[in-house]
Every structure is written in C-alpha cells, then in structure tokens.
Amino acid sequence: MRYTNILKMAALTGVVALSVASRPAKAELISGAGATFPYPIYQKWFNAYHQANGGTTINYQAVGSGAGIAQYKAGTVDFGATDAPLTNAEIGTMPSPTLHIPTVAGSIVLAYNVPGIGPGLRLSGEDIADIYLGKITAWNDARIAKQNPGLALPNQPITVVHRADSSGTSFIFTNYLSVVSGSWKSGPGAGKSVAWPKGVGGNGNPGVSGLVKNSPGAIGYVELAFAIQNKMTYGPVRNKSGNYVNASLATTTAAAETGAKAMERDVRTLIVNAPGMNSYPICGFTYLLVSKTPKNAAKARELVELLKWAIGDQGQKLAAETLYAPLPAAVVAINERAIAQIKLK
C-alpha cells in the first residue's frame, strides 16, 4: 500500500514530502511543513483535493511541529502545521499576523511491545507518568498488575520511547502527564521538547513507531492512525471519570466536543483529560498556521479554498474515515470567521 511505503520512508528519514507531479505548468504550488500527528489525514486531504482541483498541488513535509513552526516563521513555506498552538510570545515573533486554524482532533495511544501480551493492557495516567519518570521499570510491576488481573505480565524491563524532535505530539502528551501527575508537572513539565528522565528518542510518529515495534519491552506514544496502520498493540487508558477507555473515533469526538465552547474564547484550548464517561484522555486538536496578510495573492486564494474544503463536509468526512474526530460545528464556525480575515489582494 502506498501509505505504508511512505510511512516506512518517514521512519528512516524523519521527513515525508507529499506532492502530485501531474499539475498544469501554470498551477500554484502550495507548500507546508510541520506536525506528523495529522499526517495520515493531510495525505488524504491533499491527494483528494488535487484530484478534485487539478491545478492545485500541495507539498507537505512531515518534519514535526517545532520544525514546521520554524519554517513558517522563516517564510520558506506557505503554511505551518502544529499540534502545539503558539504562545502569545511566539505569535509576537511571527513575520505577519498569524491565524490558528484547527483542522481535526486526534488521539495519542501508548503503543507497547510486551512479549505474550496482546491488545487491551490497562494503564492509568499516574502509571504512565511514572513509567516515563523511571519509577516503574518492569512490566510486572504491582501497580500495572493490579489494573490487569489475570494477565501474566512478564518480568521484562520497560524501554521508554519518546520523541527526539520538537514535537506537537509530545506537547499534547506532556500536557496530559502534567495534568494527571504532580511529579511530572514539577519535573519535566509540558512542552514540544522536555528533558526526558529516561528512554530513547525517535524522529516523528513514524520514528517512535519503528522503535517500539523493534524493541521487545518498549512503550511509546504515537497517534492512533499510525498505531493502526503499523499494526501496533495498545490498550485503554483510565479517563477523568475513572473509566478505562480505548482510543477511537467516538471517544476522540467525545473529548473534542467538550472543548468546543472554550475554543470560542481561545481557539488554542487544550482538551487533555477531558470530562465525560466516554472521553479518551490523551487527545488534542491540530492546527494550520496561516498568515492574515499573505504576500502572494494567487497562493493565498488557493490556500483559502483548500482551507474551506478541509473544514467542510468533504474534508471532515475523510477525517472520520482516517480516525480523526471531525470538527464540532462550533469550531467550524470559528474557522470560517478566521478564514474570512485573510486578506486576498
């Protein structure tokens, strides 16, 4: 499958460039770079949009949120992509007034490679934090065993895998850990890059996926679509209501809907550890960064049409098919107001 081959290339290089060669000679080429978290849906979107609008080609490099922000700031791409919204201070350093356009919400799963243990291993947020802090070091630890009665957990050392690059996936994951664990909050804290207490790093979601798959005893955090496409093993996580919930379209949507009202005040609202019996706790929106005052009018018009298509019915239907939560109606309305602010000369 083409998607699988691209993921393999990404795991080796950390960079994925998506483009469609067959475009008219005078067509505009839109370029973007950033998050690997939404790469599966962006691949679908950009291919589908090109097929429907043959004059538009989108080249997207999945290099991580930090690198995408840097390229957007440097003006080398037409849009940036990030799971970590810009802070007020970061917005002030951008070369032009910048909009955040949330595109979809997705889930992060704890994928593991534990000999003899299949899908369904239960973990709490506190235990995940302590695994990443190095306080829980073996798979048969009493705290893990207590949540998984009947499982013959092996006396296998835990190999912790994290992102090596500046990552929006890490931003969502470490914000979650900071909410559920005081020790994590007062220690490594939250951010696109943190001082990991232990473990090995991989570039991008594909890099983490590859390390987990090839390392018996490993655990790593990856976006749900990557885990499914790579046939990785993962289980439910205990949510704020005390329920063990598997990541799915429905449970991601439940979490996304809880944040919609708050996003009317600030579109950068986080949705980790969201309330609700069926909310999956490690979720986040992902964003495109676009200029309100683009320099290239022709590209700006193309980009506006792409954004409208992506947040519309066709784009959001593809999101659901790729296991990303479609945008709540309230968030679509926020986006429509934001897109209307882009000045088309």
Question: What pLDDT score was predicted for residue 133?
Answer: 98
Crossing angle (nearest 10°) for helices 329-339 and 249-263: 50
Those residues whose C-beta lies under 8 Å from the C-beta of residue 234, and which sit 6 or more positions away, are 109, 110, 111, 112, 119, 121, 227, 247
- Pick out the chain residues at pLDDT < 50: 1-26
pLDDT at 345: 73
d(CA 79, CA 111) in angstroms, rounded, equals 30
Number of H helices, E strands in the chain: 14, 12
Query: Residue 220 has what pLDDT?
Result: 98
Instruction: Determine the CATH number of domain 2-103+286-339.
Output: 3.40.190.10
> What is the spatial distance between Cα 255 and Cα 157, in angstroms, rounded to a whole number?
33
Helix, strand, coil fractions of the chain, as percent rounded to 5: 40, 20, 40
Structure tokens at 259: 């944040």
Identical fold between 2-103+286-339 and 107-263: yes
Determine which helix (DSSP H) or strand (DSSP E) holds 212, and give its type and residue range.
helix 204-213
DSSP character at residue 324: P
Q: Looking at residue 15, what is its pLDDT?
A: 37
Q: pTM of the prediction?
A: 0.89
Question: Do 36 and 223 contact (CB within 8 A), yes or no?
Answer: yes
We find that the CATH architecture of domain 107-263 is: 3-Layer(aba) Sandwich (3.40)
Q: Which residue has the tokens 């534990």?
A: 114
**Are 159 and 198 a contacting pair, CB within 8 Å?**
no
3-state secondary structure of 3: helix
| CB burial string 119-139: b at 16+ within 10 A, e below | eebbbbbbbbbbbbbeebeeb
Two structure tokens written together for 268 = 């950068």
* Domain layout of the chain by residue ranges: 2-103+286-339, 107-263
Length of the chain: 345
Q: Which of 109, 37, 36, 43 is nearest to 318 (CA)?
A: 43
The SS3 call for residue 335 is: helix
Nearest alpha carbon to residue 207 among 174, 172, 164, 171: 164
